[in-house]
Every structure is written in structure tokens, then in C-alpha cells.
Structure 1
Amino acid sequence: MVLSHGLDSHIVIVGCGISGIGAALKLTKHGFRNVRILEATGRTGGRIKTGKMGNNIIEIGANWIHGPSEANPVFCLSRQYGLLDPESLTPENQNLDIGGHPPWVPSWFSSSGRKLTAEQMGPAVELFGELLEECSQFSDKGSEPYSSVGEFLRAEVRQRAAERWRGDSASCHSIRMSLLSTLLKVECCVNGTHTLDALGLGAFGLYKTLPGLDCTFPRGYEGLIDSLMKELRPGMVAYRRPVSRVHWQREPGKGETERPVTVECEDGERIPADHVIVTVPLGYLKKHHGTLFSPPLPLHKLHSVQRMGFGTNNKIFVEFDNPWWDEDCEVIYLVWEDETDLVDQVSDVERLWIKKLFGFTVLKPTKRYGHVLCGWIAGHESEFMETLSEQDVTHAITNLIRRFTGNPIITPRRVLRSQWFHDPWTCGSYTHTGTGTSRQDIHNLAEPLPLWGEKPLQVLFAGEATHPSFFSTVHGALLTGWREADRLISHYSAPGTSQPTKSKL
């Protein structure tokens, strides 16, 4: 039971993504009367962003429900709201454990315009999958033989490939090594990092997957946001209201309020509060922590903000009048024959950025999306791509596809790309565990300020970066919003009705 004086507490939530919405919903359903969300933009959803390409729905932001099963709250809510296809709801789909890598039907094309065979490529795919599995085990072992995932993969690939493919021809060995470079770029996209050399090996296994075959929303991911927003009281969200500073640890009787926190908006409005839940992306926090908090973040929290990784993964949607890929194809890998040296970044970003694009996923079903491919590109090359004109991106993509298919007349109908790095409120895509990070860094990110004292929990932190095992996911973001709401509910609950605050981290 929440005590009545707690229900009158003034709570400000910074950011109207799914984490902030989730926190607001849980608090209001527990009777808190003074909850307000400040959103910097004119829209809800944050990094959930559904768009249109012609008449077709596309996901500019979050794409899948990763691990759609009973343990995933995003799946359960989406099912409750009737937002998913019947196939996604079957027990068979929920029980399928794919380990984070969907079993898509692949096609491989080389830079000389050849279509490659499964016999040629299979051993490289198998070796890479085996090594990725090994990467995820170092977090449990408490030791790491290399400082990064990239270092480990390069060393082990060279050694094991030399042993296993000893009898193969030089050309076969060469094309497999080139595919492994492509697979390194795939992992850059999956993890939202410029290079796997920036991905900590010891912390790689902190990320956990849930069972279930990843699924999409027939009418767009924003349908989930819309459904959640309908449950909030009208007027709770103030749009186009960026926060410039959070003043915390204010002394009673000093300033305009007795409340310990003042949220200062860019338009000059000053909002007194007992608690503020900050849900901004880690990329924004990295860039603005110095001005966002007064007093500044404690050093241990600041160092964790700096150590944790936050990178860019962009999409380039390409629509065609007719498909040039096989009907059953679900993913297309582009293999550069000159990349035999296990590379996941280019030597000249401005000239060669397009080589970082690992390939395309095929948007299915066709009756919903038309003939649309989604290209994936991460890192600094992706950030540079954002600065180019749509015409330049279209030209580069057209030339790329013509080269790899060997068809000089293929022409896209239209091209559309995301630009998450230059979005001033995200500054990138999502979180990864950088080199030197540990489980403690994520705990530090999630730790409220101050944790104890006469007026604790003045500033709380939510968002995907603060989840210890589901960082980079929508369900991770939602769970952290709920976690911080529960922390406040627990704080104001009658003794014996809830766990103490200390156990909530």
C-alpha cells in the first residue's frame, strides 16, 4: 500500500520513449497524482519510430520484438493490444530458442558479380557462429584472454581456419575469409558499434536473449506506443519541452520551492519536483552530462557513462519494381573479395563508406511491404552516410547492387535512410558494453541519486542502457521504466508491504 503523502509527490519524467511511458503508467496506476512527462520533440516513442515508404510501413527505429515469449513484456503487451500476426503468437514460435540470430534463408553475392553457394560459405558461417558462442562465455569465467571481441575473433578465426580448411583451394579459403569480414560487419550492426575492437570481451556475455522467433508489427511498432499512450491521463505529456538542467540536492527553504529537485527547461520554465526519472539515451547522456546535472554526476557514475559504448546503426531502405533476389531469400550478404584480412572498418570513410554496409534483409511478407530491402550499416561510415544527400546515397546503393548482382540496369524505385547519429536527442542508436566495462558499470548507470539520506531518490535513471542484460532492446527499456516506478512505489509504501529500496538495483 502506497502511503497517502507519497501519492502527492511531484514526479517529473524526462523523455517520452517506452521507458518513460512505462514508468508513468505504473506510477499513475498505483495512485500517484502528480506525474508529468517532458518530451523534447513533438512526438512520442523515442527510438521507436514507424515511417512510410510510398504506401508501405517501415521501421526507421526499433524493428523487432527480440525474443517474443512470456518473459518479454513487450510481446505480452503487444498480444494484449492485438498488434501481432497470428503466427507470432503460436507456442511453437515462442518456444524457438534462436540465441539472438534468426535462422534466415541467406544469399551471398561477391564483389565480382557472382552468386556464391552454401557449400562455399557454410563452413565460414559455422566457424563464426561457434566463435560468437565462445565470446559470450567469458563473462561467466571471470577472465578474458583478449581485451576485445574483435581481437579474439581475428586471432581464433585465423588459427582455426588454417587448420580446418587446409585441404581447400586458395580461392575457396580466400572467399570464406572475405565472408568472415562481412560477418564482422554484421556484428557491428547487431551491437551498435563502429568496430568489434571496441566491444569488451569479458562483458559481451552480459547480454541475454529470450526464446522466441523475432517478430514485427504488421501495422508498425508505433502502434504499441499509441496503445500505451491511450492509458495515460490526457495532458500528462508536455511536448517540445527540452530539459536544460536538473538541479538536485537543493537545500530546504532555499530557492523557489521546498522540493529537493528543480527541473529547468530550455524555455525557462522551472518545475519543482520530489523525484525526476531521467530516461534519455546513453548517447545523449555522454554528450550532455556536464550541463544536464547540477551538482554533476558522481565520479563513479560518470566513469561508467564514459566506459559504456553507444554507437550508430542505420538502415537504408531500397524499393524495387521487381525483386532480383530469390523468393525464399530473407537476408543478402555482400562479400568483398579484397577483404580477406578480417576487416570491419574501411580505410577511407569518405571514399569507401559503402563497403561497411554488410548487406540487406528482405522485408516480408511481400504483400505488406512490396519489394523492399533494408540495408544495414554501422559505425563512423554510417555516421558519414547521414551527411550525404539522398541523391548521393541512392547513387552509391545503385552502383553497389549493380556490381554485386552483375546486372548493370537494376534501378531502385526509391531509397530512404535513417539518421540516428545526427538526431540531437539520441546521438546514435543503442548501447553496447565497451572494452573495460563490467556488470558494475550498468549498475552504476542505474543507481539513483542520492541512494540514501533524508531525501533519497531525487534523480532516478531508466532506459535500455541501464538494464543489466537486455540493454539495446525495447523490452529492456520498458523493464527499466517499470523498475524505477517500483523503486518509488516501494519508497512510499507502508513498512512490510514491499522490498526496501536497496534491493531494487
Structure 2
Amino acid sequence: MVEVGAHWIHGPSRGNPVFQLAAEYGLLGEKELSEENQLVETGGHVGLPSVSYASSGARVSLQLVAEMATLFYGLIDQTREFLHAAETPVPSVGEYLKKEIGQHVTGWTEDEETRKLKLAILNSFFNLECCVSGTHSMDLVALAPFGEYTVLPGLDCTFSKGYQGLTNCMVASLPEDTVVFEKPVKTIHWNGSFQEAAFPGETFPVSVECEDGDQFPVHHVIVTVPLGFLKEHLDTFFDPPLPAEKAEAIRKIGFGTNNKIFLEFEEPFWEPDCQLIQLVWDDTSPLEDAPPALQDAWFRKLIGFVVLPPFASVHVLCGFIAGLESEFMETLSDEEVLLCLTQVLRRMTGNPRLPAPKSVLRSCWHSAPYTRGSYSYVAVGSTGGDLDLLAQPLPADSAGAQLQILFAGEATHRTFYSTTHGALLSGWREADRLLSLWAPQVQQPRPRL
């Protein structure tokens, strides 16, 4: 069982509705539910690797990796302090990190080789942060609003039987045939007056037109499509077009690609207690802007591999790669990816006879037509206010029951964007909005976080 999409519950603790639901449905184990697990403060930072390989084939000192992690994550924490500052020294998180690292480098007293290795390790952490933020480069992520993203306590955990167990439980409470699948929507017509044969004499302000020609006249529609899809279809998906300021918010908010590459092995080449394998590319540095040589070097953006829990005799590594290199990877065949990563692993481990993986599976979120990427970030030129603007229902001057189009999805949650709990809360928010319109006297079924 592998997760091609969402992987972890980030911050599994009382303030996380995904964790709360998973607990209610009995989908988590004792360890995940333990008070101890819920109290861990990670600061949103990924744990340290179990082993770190350099592209020279040598192992990197984990002590040196820990030292660079302390520096890097300390600086990341500093970037969050600009939230309420009158102005920022530079526009982006990446520029701030590089400026600070540049100052640290002047104080390093080691030999040239060690200094270069430290920069290469830091470059690996930059690539990792690109995966976390779902961006090609931290230079694209706005510094001022970066601290608005809220990290919940709790040690990130997974569903042993997959995230789908959660959605299956949620859907099970719906009447049969409520959800229609394989029905792509072409255009949402709004501010109109549409008829439905089943309701003679009644008019509906919205009509959802599907690609097969079917029309669904409705009072309200909640749009939860990914921001990448909205960016691509902005001019055709809404009729009339969205108000200028909402369209501008959609253009400005960042939306990048973070992909997974799963490699299945006959036998593990890693130690039994290994959890995370880091790849460090020699002679790379965050202080040097190397243009992505996609054809020959896309794999250098790969941060390494998470070791998935062994299942029977199945041994799987899950690699993560973000940005333009990740999007280029989608254009390659499975065979090309498998061959390339076999060579990478042989080079990194220093074992030219390392057996090739027996199979590969990967996500392709950028080329997937209904996502066109993975998740959102607040890009340079945008603010948290743009996420709020995207979340505002239409028409904007609506009074009461005239609400027609409502917006939900991770990119509409100002402090939890990019997460499943942000997506869930945004859906509840819009459901509550409609409940308060149609049944204001009805008690909310659960406390809203």
C-alpha cells in the first residue's frame, strides 16, 4: 500500500481535525494516538536522516549533517519572525536564507573540502524545503507572510492502510448515489436563471455544465478544484468570468509540484532501523544559482528516500523531488527513471553492483489534468490576504441566500494551506456557511476548530 498523494497527518494532535476523525474512526494505532506523540514539537521540520550519502560514494558524517540542520532550521525559524515586521530585508525566504548563510560561511575555519561539503549538505536542505513548500525554489516563496503558516504539535504519522480509509469512512455516511464520478465539469455558469424539469416554476442561479453536455442547475456550488487547475482554466471555467481581484489572487498565489518516486527492491540494501536516506550532491551550494540542467541532471534535485514500513517481503523506498526537475521527471518513461535512479544509488552507495530495483511507481501531479501541480504556497508578490480573497464566496455583495459559488480546498485556508487538515477545515467552513443560510437554527454537529 503506497500513498501517491497525501502521505502524513502533519501535526497529529487535538487541534488537527484529520487526526481527530482518524482517531474516531479507529484508523490509527496506539503509538500514533499516544499523548506523548501528540505533544512532540517538530517546528514543522523533517527529522534527521539515518544515513547520508555523498555523490562521491562516501558516507557523510551525521554529526556534520546535524550541525547543518541546526543552522538551516534555526534560520527557517527566523524567517517566521518577519510576519508583523514593517518591512523585510529581502522579498523571499530563499534570499534571506542565502544572505544569512553567506555570513556564517565567512566564520567557518575548516579546510576547503569540509566547507564545500557543508554547503552541499545545506543545498540538500534547500531541496528538502522546496518539497515541503511545494515550490521550485525558496526564492519564489514570500518572506513576509511565511510565518503565517501554522505548525501543529505532534509527530507526523501515517495511516497503515492508506489515507483512503479516512475518505471511505466519511463517504460511508452519505446516502447512496450522492457522489457522481467520471463527470468532468466544463463550465460553471452563475448569476443566471436556470430551469430544472424536476422543479417546475423554480429558477436556479447556477448551472454546472459537464464536458459530456449534461447540465446541473443548482442553488449553490462549492468549488474545491486544485489551484493549479484554476490557474490553467481561469478564462473558461466560470461564466461570467470571476471578478478581477479574485482572478488576480489565483494568478498570484504560488502552486508548485512535489512528486514521489517509489522503488521496490528484492532485498533492502539499507540497515534494518534506517528511516530516511539523504542524498548530498558534492560541489553544489545554495549560494550558487545553477540553472536546472534538466536533461542531464534532474535527479540532483532528489532529496533522498523515506524507507516505507516493510510489508511481508516487500521493501520500498519513497523518493521526493520538487520543482521544474520534478516536472521534467514526469516526461520520462518508467524505464528511464528506474535506470537513472539505479545509477544514482550505485554511485551514492559506492556499490557498482547494487541490484536494480525490481519496479518503480511515481506520482505525476504536474501533468495530471485536474491538478496541474501539488499544493499551494504564498509566492513573492502575494500575501495571506490573497488566500482569504480566494475563499470569499460569490457574488461578493451577496445578501443571505443569494450565495452562488463557494470556494474550498487547501489554497483557501490562510494558516493551514498545503495540508489535508487545511482542506478539510475549508470544506467544513463552506458547509457551515450554507447551513447557516438554510437552517440557522440547527445546532452544529461538531465543534469547529
TM-score range, shorter chain: over 0.9
Task: Give me the whole-angstrom Cα distance separating, in 1, the residues matched to 2:271 and 2:430.
Answer: 47
Q: Identify unmatched segments of 5+ residues in structure 2.
A: none
Task: Give me the whole-angstrom Cα distance separating, in 2, the residues matched to 1:403 and 1:346.
Answer: 23
Alignment match of 1:159 (pick from 91, 99, 103): 103
Q: How many residues align?
A: 440
Q: Aligned residue for 1:479?
A: 425
Q: Aligned residue for 2:151?
A: 209
Greater shift in the superposed pair: 71-80 or 115-124:
115-124
Task: Give me the whole-angstrom Cα distance separating, in 2, the residues matched to 1:110 and 1:98.
Answer: 26
Instruction: Please state whether the residue corresponding to 1:317 is helix, strand or coil.
Output: strand
Task: Give me the whole-angstrom Cα distance separating, in 2, the residues matched to 1:250 and 1:473.
Answer: 34
1:453 maps to a residue whose letter is S
Instruction: Please state whether the residue corresponding to 1:271 is helix, strand or coil.
Output: strand
Q: Aligned residue for 2:84?
A: 140
Query: How far does residue 126 in structure 1 lie from its aligned partner after superposition?
Result: 1.2
Task: Give me the whole-angstrom Cα distance separating, in 2, the residues matched to 1:241 and 1:70.
Answer: 36
Aligned-pair RMSD on alpha carbons? 2.1
Task: Give me the whole-angstrom Cα distance separating, in 1, the residues matched to 2:158 and 2:398.
Answer: 45
Instruction: Please state whether the residue corresponding to 1:290 is helix, strand or coil.
Output: coil
- The answer as to whether partners of 1:257 and 1:272 remain within 8 angstroms in 2 is no
Task: Give me the whole-angstrom Cα distance separating, in 1, the residues matched to 2:320 and 2:257.
Answer: 11
Q: Aligned residue for 1:239?
A: 181
- The answer as to whether partners of 1:178 and 1:339 remain within 8 angstroms in 2 is yes
1:470 maps to a residue whose letter is F
Equivalent residue runs for 1:256-295 within 5 Å: 258-295=203-240
- The answer as to whether partners of 1:112 and 1:337 remain within 8 angstroms in 2 is yes
Task: Give me the whole-angstrom Cα distance separating, in 1, the residues matched to 2:252 and 2:312.
Answer: 41
1:358 maps to a residue whose letter is I
Task: Give me the whole-angstrom Cα distance separating, in 2, the residues matched to 1:257 and 1:485.
Answer: 23
Instruction: Please state whether the residue corresponding to 1:241 is helix, strand or coil.
Output: coil
- Closer/same/farther in 2, CA of residues 489 and 397 from structure 1, 3 Å limit: same
What's the % identity of the aligned pairs? Answer: 45
Task: Give me the whole-angstrom Cα distance separating, in 2, the residues matched to 1:445 and 1:451.
Answer: 11
- Closer/same/farther in 2, CA of residues 472 and 369 from structure 1, 3 Å limit: farther
Task: Give me the whole-angstrom Cα distance separating, in 1, the residues matched to 2:155 and 2:216.
Answer: 44
1:77 partnered with 2:21: yes
1:96 partnered with 2:31: no
2:225 maps to a residue whose letter is V
Query: How far does residue 205 in structure 1 lie from its aligned partner after superposition?
Result: 1.2
1:469 partnered with 2:415: yes
1:324 partnered with 2:307: no
Instruction: Please state whether the residue corresponding to 1:115 is helix, strand or coil.
Output: coil
Query: How far does residue 495 in structure 1 lie from its aligned partner after superposition?
Result: 7.5
1:223 partnered with 2:133: no
Q: Aligned residue for 1:393?
A: 337
Q: Aligned residue for 1:114?
A: 58
Query: How far does residue 217 in structure 1 lie from its aligned partner after superposition?
Result: 0.7
Query: How far does residue 104 in structure 1 lie from its aligned partner after superposition?
Result: 4.2
- Closer/same/farther in 2, CA of residues 456 and 327 from structure 1, 3 Å limit: same
TM superposition score normalised by structure 2: 0.93
Q: Aligned residue for 2:122?
A: 180
Greater shift in the superposed pair: 336-345 or 391-400:
336-345
Query: How far does residue 123 in structure 1 lie from its aligned partner after superposition?
Result: 2.2
Equivalent residue runs for 1:447-466 within 5 Å: 447-453=392-398, 456-466=402-412
Instruction: Please state whether the residue corresponding to 1:490 is helix, strand or coil.
Output: helix
1:193 maps to a residue whose letter is T
Query: How far does residue 139 in structure 1 lie from its aligned partner after superposition?
Result: 1.5
1:243 maps to a residue whose letter is V
- Closer/same/farther in 2, CA of residues 369 and 127 from structure 1, 3 Å limit: farther
Task: Give me the whole-angstrom Cα distance separating, in 2, the residues matched to 1:170 and 1:126.
Answer: 21
Task: Give me the whole-angstrom Cα distance separating, in 2, the residues matched to 1:368 and 1:131.
Answer: 41
Greater relative CO, 1 or 2 (CA 8 Å, sep 6+): 1
2:237 maps to a residue whose letter is L
Q: Aligned residue for 2:391?
A: 446
